[in-house]
Structure 1
Amino acid sequence: MSTIEEQNKIPYNVRKLREEEFEGKLISLYKINSWMNIDFHVYVSEPIEEGLYETRIMFSPFGERDYSFDEVTKDYFMIDTNFIAVKVDNRGQGLSREVISNDRFILNGIKSKETYVYRGVFMDIVRAVDFVSEHKKSNGIIVAFGGSQGGMLTLVASALNKKINLAIARIPFFAGIEKYDKDNQWPMRWIMNTSMNERGISNKKQYEELSYYDVKNFAKLINIPIFIGSCENDPITPYEAILDAFVNIRNTTR
């Protein structure tokens, strides 16, 4: 049984934590249960005016930020009245740090692919897409985007949830990880040193476990129009690594 099949057996438990109108938008904060019964948070900002709208989902980069209502109402993306705007804080990020901390997030459960934190994170974003796809004002078009970790999650969500129609990923994290600098640069240096020194796991074994979550493997499942941004001098994800993921996309609209 796949992880998604197991996830689908977990009943939805959606709680609306707060709701507020602001300049033509109704902004709501939800807490949703997910894989291993860990909650994540979603901000949904819908136009008050009646009609059907495109949905745009922003997946989170790394960080401990807390999106308070005051901050959300200052965010142009969230207050634009032309579409339904969605921000997702997956487990361990932003508001969703009750069980999994942002501290050492990328090392959480890293000993095996079954326990690694991104297994649950990927299920969070799949469920987030399912949730917003049912919005009463949705016209059925969903655009996903994000940068760094958000770019990674954009690609994975597009691969695992066919409800997404268009994706835009900027310098996606964890793409072509075998080309990451494991000797001098975060995060691979940190991951490999921790695995060796704290867990006694060889670099080869750790790469084998991490490769399951490499974006280039999920890219093979993407069949929608997609845009991927890269940077020749990015210190974390080199251009060549992103290219490995890009060439794996079978869709010709890329």
Structure 2
Amino acid sequence: MFYDTTAHELLSYRPATPVPADLSDFWRETLDETARFPLDVTVERVTETPLRGAEVYDVGFAGFGGHPIRAWYLLPREPRRDAATIIEFIGYGGGRGLHHELLFWSAAGYPHLIMDTRGQGSSWRVGDTPDPGSSGGPQVPGFLTDGLTAREDYYYRRLFTDAVRAVDAARELPSADPARLVTTGTSQGGALSLVAASLHPGVAAAMPNVPFLCDIRASCRAAVTGPYPELVKWCRTHRSLADRAFATLAYFDVACLVPAAQCPAHFGVALMDETCPPQGVYGCFNVYGGPKEITVYAWNGHESGEAHHLENQHRWLTREAGIG
């Protein structure tokens, strides 16, 4: 099992998923299709809030297909000089939550955009964004298998595009510096932070923590908990469609996308993670195209570094990336 593999050994691991020959064309066409819809950014100040250290804005923008996406924007009353704007994406099943739930970055003086996740937000943190594009086809409860047999209909085509559009939206927000946009997130959010860094040239740095959707075929064989078993169950039921499903997933495997990334990245990995196995994270880290570092939590599972990791991210952002 990979849990017996050392971090040093994992540094030589390479994902086995072949990169589709038309991967770049697929994503260029997808993003061009969505670019036909006006971004339509709306920013409404929230006046009823217990927060005193930040102004809170309810943000909207048009994501994939022009579908409305919600977000929170927390703007510090005393921002850091030349502060980066942090764009955060949420883990599987969660939404943007309540506006006072994620306060670290704004408390540290950084403008902070928190994107809601279409169709999610009913498992552990509330969300406010529906998914009008759901295929309605047979799927295991969750999102990983929604539209799995056709790349054009697959759930993550919509969500990945939303993440790229969130970067465009951040550029239009009050006090945001378009040259200092940093993506971050944990698990699914970590995957989205890497997707945005790979598909949007305006991302200055990425901070993915235990990212999901990395080296998907190997990860779903190794994972014990979380979303990957949904995929295993789907393939177990739809025996004749498994190869077709993995052909679709190759277009959404983050390890196939990140060689195109150029900005610096700071990864977090947990060597006892049974939800997003470390070999998948390392597979993605090892092929990442830009400058990169990784913080290893040898004895942790999917909780990873938690508050310790926030401190490590902040240190990296200010001292290493030099854009904080």
Q: TM-score, normalization: structure 2? A: 0.69
SS in 2 for 1:172: coil
Equivalenced residues, count:
250
User: 1:101-120 alignment to 2 at 5 Å?
Assistant: 104-120=142-158
Instruction: Rate the CA distance shift 1:181–1:67 in 2: closer, same or farther, 3 A.
Output: closer
Secondary structure of 1:120's partner? helix
**Which of 129-138 and 115-124 deviates more?**
129-138
The aligned residue for residue 97 of structure 2 is 67
Q: Is 2:41 the partner of 1:2?
A: no
Comparing 45-54 with 3-12, which one deviates more in the overlay?
45-54
Contact 1:169 1:227 in 2 (8 A): yes
Deviation at 1:253, TM superposition (A): 3.9
| Cα distance change, pair 203–39 in 1 and its aligned pair in 2 (3 A) | same
Check 1:182–1:81 CA distance in 2 against 1; reply closer, same or farther (3 A cut). Answer: closer
- Structure 1: give runs of 5+ residues left out of the alignment: none
1:90 equivalent to 2:117? Answer yes
Give the partner amino acid of 2:113: V
Q: Is the 8 A contact 2:220 2:231 kept in 1?
A: no
Deviations 1:117-164 (A, max 9, x none): 100101111111111122241233112111100110011011111211
* Aligned amino acid, residue 54 of structure 1: A
Report % sequence identity.
Answer: 23
Letter in 1 for 2:63: S
Counterpart code for 1:111: T
Aligned partner of residue 152 in structure 2, secondary structure: coil
| Equivalent position of 2:260 in the other structure | 221
CA distance in structure 2 between the partners assigned to 1:235 and 1:176 by the alignment: 14
- The alpha-carbon deviation at position 65 of structure 1 amounts to 4.8
With the length of structure 1 as denominator, give the TM-score of the two structures.
0.86
* Alignment check: 8 A CA contact 1:52 1:138 kept: no
**Would you identify which runs of 4 or more consecutive aligned residues in structure 1 move more than 6 Å?**
none
Q: Is the 8 A contact 1:24 1:81 kept in 2?
A: no
Deviates more, 1:152-161 or 1:11-20: 11-20
SS in 1 for 2:272: coil
Give the deviation of 1:49 after TM superposition: 5.2
- Asked whether 1:176 is paired with 2:215, we answer yes
1:26 maps onto 2:55 in alignment: yes
- Pairs within 5 Å for 1:1-254: 2-16=29-43, 19-20=46-47, 22-48=51-77, 53-65=83-95, 67-68=97-98, 72-73=99-100, 75-77=102-104, 79-80=106-107, 82-94=109-121, 95-99=127-131, 104-139=142-177, 140-182=179-221, 185=224, 186-195=226-235, 197=237, 201-254=240-293
Cα RMSD after superposing both structures: 2.6
1:98 counterpart letter in structure 2: P
- What are structure 2's unaligned runs of at least 5 residues? 1-27, 122-126, 135-140, 294-324
- Aligned partner letter, 1:191: L
Taking the aligned partners of 2:54 and 2:100, their CA distance within structure 1 comes to 9
Q: Which has the higher strand share?
A: 1
Task: Give per-residue Cα distances to partners, 1:40-84, cap 9 Å, x unaligned.
Answer: 21111113458754201111112245623xxx2354326416110
Q: 1:29 to 1:184 in 2, by over 3 A?
A: closer
Shift of 1:23: 1.1
Distance 1:56 1:166, change over 3 A: same
